[in-house]
Amino acid sequence: IVIVIIAVVLGLTLRQNKSEFKSTFLSRCEKFNQTDCQKVWDAFEQAYVNKDPCKVAVEAYDPLIVAAPFKPQCNRMMFWSKTKDVVHGFTEKRDCFVTLEDTLLGSVLDGLTWCGKEGSKGTFTTGCPGWSECENNPVRSFWRRISAAFADVACGDVTAMLSGSIDTPFNPTRKKAPAESGSGRGICCNRLEDSTKDMLWKTARDNNIFASIEVVRFQASRIKSLNVVMVLQQNAKSNCTDPSLKNLRQTLDTGITYSCKDVPESRIQECGAKPEIACGACW
Ligand code: APR
């Protein structure tokens, strides 16, 4: 009897988990007009359901990107690294820029954890591997895949907010894939063979997404400039003169203009709070 009760309670909890997660997904999704959210859910779920949660490859989310493609938003796309709170504090209040987390897929899954289990049709929100626990976990593969898709459509003048509160604001420490060595600059994944793309995911391993996944996808044919905003708090450790930014310039596809501006965090907050300041005059 005890075993039956435990099994029932466990079963209910797991089902509860699934329905709560799915309803959060759908209700966040429904804020985006003209979206078949059930179709997006189905494409999402197939990536990890009934799989070992440490064996969800980045490519498992390819059908999701097809079901909910990213639309280019030229001159408004904002990338970031280690500046999540200040960036989103700003984009929440002002319409100047769009981050990944303001798009359909980014906003629907932001802050959530999920995984599947071999032999189960369920979605679980507890007992899932942590971000760094295993390489191919469903959450990490998801963010890597959608970050790549967002970077693939970047166009016009692109902005990136990097942190002056760390020693190395641009930190790829990325081994070059064979296809890149010799060219001495970034590559554009749309032109790559599948086998090389696979290699890129592998070399991108433990590094931050901006440096190892997004910047390498920026294409000069679509992007005019990359404008870095260095977010400076008091006692900043780095700024636009940081040597790591030289790597960023070198990684950029030839033809993309680079600029960098040191901006106090307080100025970004002020601009967020004062809609009378024009977007172009924020920094
Ligand atoms: N646990 C959960 N999520 C994590 C973790 C972690 N330990 N580490 C990183 N992430 C995810 C989160 O979604 C977090 O907000 O990666 C995001 C960014 O982490 P950072 O290290 O600050 O920055 P970076 O890896 O460079 O990624 C930021 O990728 O999300 C896209 O377009 C976005 O330009 C942005 C870039």
Whether the CB-CB separation of 145 and 63 falls below 8 Å is answered with no
Residues whose CB falls within 8 Å of the CB of residue 177, separated by 6 or more in sequence, listed in order: 187, 196, 199, 200, 203
What's the pLDDT score for residue 217? Answer: 97
119 CA from centroid of ligand 1 (Å) = 30
User: Which one-letter amino acid corresponds to residue 268?
Assistant: I
218 CB near ligand 1 (under 6 Å): no
- Nearest atom of ligand 1 to the alpha carbon of 213: 29
Q: Quote the CA–CA distance of 233 and 120 in Å, as a whole number.
A: 47
What's the pLDDT score for residue 186? Answer: 33
Check pLDDT > 90 for residue 77. yes
Quote the ipTM score. 0.92
pTM of the model: 0.86
Check pLDDT > 70 for residue 1. no
Check pLDDT > 50 for residue 57. yes
Alpha-helical regions (H) of 30-83? 37-45, 62-67
Element counts in the chain: helices (H) and strands (E): 10, 4
146 CA from centroid of ligand 1 (Å) = 11
Binning pLDDT at 50, 70 and 90, where does residue 76 land? very high
193 is written with which tokens? 């063979």
3-state secondary structure of 228: strand
99 CA from centroid of ligand 1 (Å) = 12
283 is written with which tokens? 């920094």
- Nearest atom of ligand 1 to the alpha carbon of 79: 34
What's the pLDDT score for residue 2? Answer: 74
Whether the CB-CB separation of 207 and 172 falls below 8 Å is answered with yes
209 CA from centroid of ligand 1 (Å) = 6
208 CB near ligand 1 (under 6 Å): yes
Calculate the alpha carbon distances from 140 to 55, 71, 195, 254 in Å.
11, 22, 21, 30
Calculate the alpha carbon distances from 8 to 5, 16, 126 in Å.
5, 12, 17
